[in-house]
Amino acid sequence: MDTKKMAIIATKGTLDWAYPPFILASTAAALGYETQIFFTFYGLQLVRKDLSVLKVSPLGNPGMPMKMPFGPKWFKSINWNMPNAIQAIIPGYENVATALMKQTIANTGVASIPELRELCQEAEVKFIACQMTVELFGFEHSDFIDGLEYGGAATFFEFAGETDICLFI
């Protein structure tokens, strides 16, 4: 039987959206898929050496529950959603939301992004960074982790054209 293949295009650069590509790629690798992720536009943030750049913002995100990761159960179940206009004027709101989310992640036994990324690399998931967006955003190759390959759309299609599953995230 031929090895199954999966390709993902990762386009988002926030902490929440870092999960789907790394979860799916690491799991696919565990299931025996040959897997590749093409990081482009904001997705480039996911292959930075410094992953502390990843934040989550509740601003303009009505689907995000805002719950506290500590305290008694009744307190944790309160939803602290507030109007966008108020969120926007509180300094450091995004940093607080990110810190709370990281605490919730740790509390629920969900892997951290650095851990999932490392698991992908251990499982030999191939990472390709879009050279065009590297230049567009003024990044240097030294901003990114080792083991990345740099390429363009044609590089993506070379592998994607042979895949069983191809996702845009």
Partner 1 sequence: MNFDKELDARGLNCPLPILRAKKALGEVTSGQVLKILSTDPGSVKDFAAFAKQTGNELLSTAEAGGEFTFFMKKK
Site residues, partner 1 (CB under 8 A): 23, 26-27, 30-32, 108-111, 119, 123
Q: Please, what is the angle between helix 93-107 and helix 15-30, to 10°?
A: 30
Nearer to partner 1, 30 or 96 (CB): 30
Q: Read off the tokens for 123.
A: 């499982």
- Please state the closest distance from residue 25 (CB atom) to partner 1, in A: 10
- Please state the closest distance from residue 27 (CB atom) to partner 1, in A: 4
- Please state the closest distance from residue 71 (CB atom) to partner 1, in A: 20
Residue with tokens 């509390």: 107
CA distance 82 to 52: 25
CA distance 62 to 128: 32
Among 127, 131, 125, 126, which Cα is nearest to 152's?
131
- Please state the closest distance from residue 86 (CB atom) to partner 1, in A: 32
SS3 143: helix
Nearer to partner 1, 105 or 166 (CB): 105
CA distance 65 to 56: 12
